[in-house]
Amino acid sequence: MSGEVSAPRFPVRAVLFDLDGTLLDTIQDLADGANLMLEELGRPARPLAEIHSFVGKGIPNLVRRCMTEDALASEDEVEHAITVFRRHYADVNGRNTRIYPGIIETLDAMREMSLQLACVTNKAAAFTLPLLERMGLMPYFGAVVSGDTLAVKKPDPGVMHHTCALLGVETGHALMIGDSANDALAARAAGMPVLLVTYGYSEGMPVDTIECDGLLSDATGALDRIQAV
C-alpha cells in the first residue's frame, strides 16, 4: 500500500518518528565509527553496505555484528569493542549526517496541525540528544525516547506506551513513522498504525515485506494519511 491521497486517513493527535534511516541519514557516521573501532582493534574494515544492514537495534547490536559476522569474538571482546565504538562515534556523530528530503516540510506541517511530535530511537541518549541538537531538529519534539531511556527498546511496545504517556496522548491516537520491522512490530503491539519509509535502513530486509499500514517514498506522503483530531 502506498501513501496516496485516496488511502485511509488515521485520526491522530501525535506522530512518533524513528531517527536513523527515517529522519536522518546517519549511515556514514555510523560506518566511520565502526571502522575506526575495527581499525583500533586490528580488524579489517567493513563496507558501507554491510554496516548499513547492521543498523536498527542499537549500538550494542551494531558492534556485535561488526565483530562476529563471518568472524569470531568473545563476549569480553565485544564489550570492549562497544566502549571503543562509543568513543569514536562521539567524535564523528553528526559530521556527515544529513536530514532526509521532505522531513523539515513534514515536521513544519505537522506542527501547524497542532500534532504532538516525538522521536523514538534505539540509539543511546548520549548520541541521540546531541545529534538532534546539531541537526536543528530538537525543537520539534515534545518527547525524545532513546534506546537506554527504559530497560527495553523497540520492538518492545513499552517504548511506545512510554512515549505516548510523555506526550499525554493515548496510543490509539498516535501514528508511528519508521523504516524497519522494529518500528512496525513495536507500533503494532502498542495498537497504533505505522507507516514505513522506503529510503531507510530496515536492517537489510526489503521494506515492502514488512507488515505496515503504508509505504512512503517521501516523508511528506504521511500528511495525506493523517487527520488531526
Tell me which residue has cell 550494542. Answer: 60
For residue 216, what is the enclosing H or E element? strand 215-216
Active-site annotation holds for 18? yes
Scanning the chain, the segments in alpha helix (DSSP H) are: 27-40, 48-54, 59-68, 75-92, 103-112, 125-134, 158-167, 181-190
- Of the candidates 18, 29, 183, 213, the residue annotated as catalytic is 18
CA distances from 110 to 84, 118, 143, 179 (A): 39, 11, 15, 19
State yes or no: cis peptide before 157, omega within 30 of 0: no
Cβ atoms < 10 Å from Cβ of 142: 15
Q: Do 128 and 19 meet the contact criterion of CB atoms below 8 Å apart?
A: yes
| Residues whose CB is less than 8 angstroms from the CB of residue 180 and which lie 6 or more positions away in sequence, other chains included | 18, 21, 56, 196, 200, 201, 202, 203, 205, 207, 210
Q: Do 211 and 195 meet the contact criterion of CB atoms below 8 Å apart?
A: no
Which residues are known to be catalytic?
18
